[in-house]
Amino acid sequence: MTNPDLPALHPEYLERVDLARLEPLPRVGHPPRILLLYGSLRPRSFSRLLVLEAERILNVLGAETRVFDPAGLPIVDSVPATHPKVQELRELSIWSEGQVWCSPERHGNITAVFKNQIDWLPLSEGAIRPTQGRTLAVMQVSGGSQSFNSVNALRVLGRWMRMFTIPNQSSVPMAYTQFGDDDRMKPSPLYDRMVDVMEELMKFTWLLRDRADYLVDRYSERRSEHRLPEKP
Predicted confidence (pLDDT) at residue 135 exceeds the cutoff of 90: yes
Strand ranges (DSSP E) for 68-114?
Answer: 98-104
Query: How large a percentage of the chain has pLDDT more than 90?
Result: 68
Q: Which pLDDT score, from 0 to 100, does residue 145 have?
A: 84
**Residue 201 dihedral angles phi and psi, to the nearest 5°:** -60, -45
pLDDT of residue 128: 76
Q: What pLDDT, in 10s, does the model give residues 7-23?
A: 455 555 555 565 656 65
> What per-residue confidence (pLDDT) applies to 14?
59
Please say whether the beta carbons of 193 and 172 come within 8 A: no
Residue 4's Cβ-count burial label (10 Å; 0-12, 13-18, 19+) is exposed
For range 40-45, the mean pLDDT: 94
Higher-pLDDT residue of 48, 29: 48
Query: 197-212, pLDDT tens digit by residue?
Result: 999 999 999 989 888 7
> Rounded mean pLDDT of 124-148?
88
* 228 DSSP 8-state letter: S
Ranges of each domain in the chain: 30-224
228 pLDDT higher than 60: no
pLDDT for 2:
45
**Overall average pLDDT of the 68-84 stretch:** 96
Return the CATH fold of 30-224: Rossmann fold (3.40.50)
When the pLDDT of each residue in the chain is averaged and rounded to a whole number, the result is 87
E strand map for 4-44: 33-38
Residue 230 has pLDDT above 70, yes or no: no
pLDDT at 229: 57
φ/ψ (deg, to 5) at 156: -60, -45
* Strand positions, DSSP E, 48-133: 64-67, 98-104
Read off the pLDDT of residues 88-109 as tens digits, 9 standing for 90 and up: 999 999 999 999 999 999 999 9
Which uninterrupted H or E stretch holds 137? strand 135-141
CA distance 57 to 187: 13
